[in-house]
Amino acid sequence: MPELCNICIVTSTADCTNDGIETRTCVKHKLHEETRNVDALGHNMAFNNEITAATCITEGFGGYVCIRNECNHIDMAIISALGHQGLTPAFAVTCTAAGNSQISGTCTREGCGQSFPGTVIPALGHDFDWQETRTGVETGTCQYIGCIETDIRLTLALGNTGPAGGIIFYVADGQDGRSLGFTVQGYSGGTGNTAYLNFVGYTAYYLEAAPSNISGTQIWAGINTTSNENRDYIPGLSQNDTDQTDWEIGRGRMNTAIIIARGINYETPYTTPAASACAALGNDWFLPSKNELNAMYIASTAPNNVASLQPSVTNAFWSSSQSRDNMAWQQYFNAVSQNPTSKLSASLAVRAIRAF
């Protein structure tokens, strides 16, 4: 039986990427030697994403690192930049609010803190498609997509001619404490021969005065048409009644209807010269309330100075507003003064007005 060789192995060590070599030498026959290759070991990779951290704006590097001794081979992987956080995205401008075409704010990510002013786009404002919907009034709807805002604008001014040929002396334009429009209070108390006085309330934006005063001067009320008795009040017409005459703008037409109806419908009718003279111009003409009459006075003075409203007479004008049972309010146009006076004994100027 042949004697086996005694093998002595001398190794050139294989590593991750390089083959190693094993050598066998026979101790009996020193010249007998064999070699063989030892395959490379390959990397022993472990994941590590902390090689270079990504920031908001720069990429990071991470991936697998070989943990075999003395290798440290890295298979790199790009980590995308993180992007800023806590910023306000770009947002569209609207009619009433500014927009921004870019992100804005300050990044809240730790270690960043970069600020972005963005590009502010001012609010567009409404773009109304104005259409005349009644005399002196235009209504508009915003044309921008997504906006449903509507608005009203008035096209007539103090001193202009009204639709009935009168002089505009009050414009409810929403400016300087005035409301945008006002309510003309309706009346439904007329019956029989006073039913013609009834009307449905409505919204008005203007008051116009007749081009001139009613001819002559008038008492407010008080002559009994049956007995010809003179009285300084109409029975049943009291400032304290539920249908009392009021002072406010928008109340003059209802006041006028109340006065005339009370005069006609009382058991023995009484005249109502001031109110009746106004209504005789047409059902929508009336004796102004205390505040409506004062608005006419204001329009006739500085800074408005509507000359056509400056009366040719210097005495006072009647309003349709009662002070008490036997007195009503008057307005002097040659002085800033409103005073109560007797409905019967005072004969004053009258200027009819209408609301539209």
Predicted confidence (pLDDT) per residue in 146-179, tens digit = 999 999 999 999 999 999 999 999 999 999 999 9
Q: Is residue 91 part of a domain?
A: no
Main-chain phi, psi angles of 34, to 5 degrees: -130, 150
Residues 344 and 323 in one domain: yes
Residues 349 and 222 in one domain: yes
Reading the block at residue 223, the tokens are 């002559």
Reading the block at residue 58, the tokens are 């720069």
Q: Is residue 49 part of a domain?
A: yes
Residues 345 and 207 in one domain: yes
> What amino acid occupies position 144?
Y
CB atoms within 10 A of CB 97: 11
Total number of domains constituting the chain: 4
CB atoms within 10 A of CB 277: 19
Range of the domain at 25: 7-38
pLDDT digits (tens, 9 = 90+) for 74-94: 777 788 899 999 999 998 999
Residues 183 and 321 in one domain: yes
Q: Is residue 349 part of a domain?
A: yes
Rounded to whole angstroms, how far apart are CA atoms 114 and 248?
Answer: 61
Rounded to whole angstroms, how far apart are CA atoms 171 and 181?
Answer: 8
Give the residue among 136, 137, 87, 157 at the shortest CA–CA distance from 115: 87
Residues 256 and 343 in one domain: yes
Neighbouring-strand partners of residue 48: 63
| Owner of token pair 């009433």 | 96
- How remote is the C-alpha of 326 from its chain's centroid? 47
- Give the mean model confidence (pLDDT) for residues 295-299: 93
- Give the mean model confidence (pLDDT) for residues 102-127: 92
Residues 213 and 323 in one domain: yes
Q: DSSP secondary-structure letter at 312?
A: S
- Give the mean model confidence (pLDDT) for residues 254-281: 88
Residues 141 and 285 in one domain: no
Strands (E), 108-205: 115-116, 120-121, 128-134, 137-142, 150-154, 167-171, 182-184, 202-204
Given pLDDT bands bounded at 50, 70 and 90, which one contains residue 199?
Answer: very high
Reading the block at residue 121, the tokens are 């786009």
Give me the pLDDT at residue 233, please.
65
Residues 200 and 309 in one domain: yes
Q: Is residue 194 part of a domain?
A: yes
pLDDT digits (tens, 9 = 90+) for 337-349: 899 998 888 899 9
For residue 11, pLDDT over 70 is answered with no
Residues 196 and 329 in one domain: yes
- Give the mean model confidence (pLDDT) for residues 314-323: 88
Which has the higher per-residue pLDDT, 316 or 304? 316
Q: Is residue 24 part of a domain?
A: yes
Q: Is residue 94 part of a domain?
A: no
Give me the pLDDT at residue 217, please.
92
Q: Is residue 309 part of a domain?
A: yes
Enumerate the H helices of the chain as residue ranges. 252-265, 273-279, 290-300
Residues 61 and 134 in one domain: no
C-alpha pair distances (Å), 36 with each of 14, 31, 209, 284: 12, 17, 124, 123
Q: Is residue 260 part of a domain?
A: yes
Q: Tell me the whole-structure pTM to 2 decimals.
A: 0.70
Rounded to whole angstroms, how far apart are CA atoms 184 and 195?
Answer: 18
For residue 123, pLDDT over 80 is answered with yes
Collapse the DSSP code of 181 into the 3-class scheme (helix H, G, I; strand E, B; otherwise coil) and give the result. coil
For residue 308, give every residue at least 6 positions away whose Cβ sits within 8 Å of its Cβ, in sequence order, or none. 159, 167, 211
Within 13 Å of residue 326, how many CA atoms lie on the same side as its CB? 7
Residues 150 and 244 in one domain: no
For residue 222, pLDDT over 80 is answered with no
Give me the pLDDT at residue 126, please.
95
Given pLDDT bands bounded at 50, 70 and 90, which one contains residue 336?
Answer: confident
Rounded to whole angstroms, how far apart are CA atoms 170 and 182?
Answer: 11
Give the residue among 163, 156, 166 at the shortest CA–CA distance from 136: 156
Reading the block at residue 332, the tokens are 């002097």
- Give the mean model confidence (pLDDT) for residues 185-195: 92
Given pLDDT bands bounded at 50, 70 and 90, which one contains residue 326?
Answer: confident
Residues 31 and 51 in one domain: no
C-alpha pair distances (Å), 131 with each of 138, 152, 173, 175, 289: 5, 10, 17, 22, 32
For residue 2, pLDDT over 80 is answered with no
